[in-house]
Amino acid sequence: MGRIIACKTSELGSGQMKKVSVDSREILVVNVNGNYFACDDTCTHAGASLSEGSLQAMESAIQTLNQLATSHSTPKNFKKTISDLITELQTDEYSLSVRAANAISSLDDITQDPNVPSFVRTTLWQAVSVLESIRE
């Protein structure tokens, strides 16, 4: 297969995705900070469409979690757990949907801890809410 033009770069802003059909295959094209990537649109783990995920939502959730991880008010033991979770969310090993689902499970466990300060718990729920939009 030679070079295929899927869309103009002006059609795909930073952090945006687009599903295109090429030779009857669904391909996902992604702009990550000016770098363009293409892959099969079907998740190999769950069989779902990757284009239905959301890079913007993932970035928003990571930003929310990063605020907690760097806050002087967040207890150290929770900072480490949240920082590890951010690293997992940023890896490309799994699709957005799978990373979101895994993060939601971990965040649910953290919010159940009776030692979590209420402001941390509330902020974690905000991140879960954003991640839920990716998982669906």
- Measured N-to-C along each axis, helices 96-111 and 118-135 cross at an angle, to the nearest 10 degrees, of 150
Query: In the numeric block, which tokens belong to residue 69?
Result: 């991880």
7 phi and psi, to 5 degrees? -170, 170
Averaged over 117-129, what is the pLDDT? 93
CATH fold of the domain at 53-135 = de novo design (two linked rop proteins) (1.20.1440)
**Comparing 75 with 23, which gets the higher pLDDT?**
75
Q: Where in the chain is the domain with CATH 1.20.1440.50?
A: 53-135
Averaged over 81-97, what is the pLDDT? 88
Averaged over 64-76, what is the pLDDT? 94
Q: Determine the Cα–Cα distance for residues 114 and 76; give it in Å rounded to an integer.
A: 15
How far from the centroid of its chain's Cα atoms is residue 92's Cα?
Answer: 9
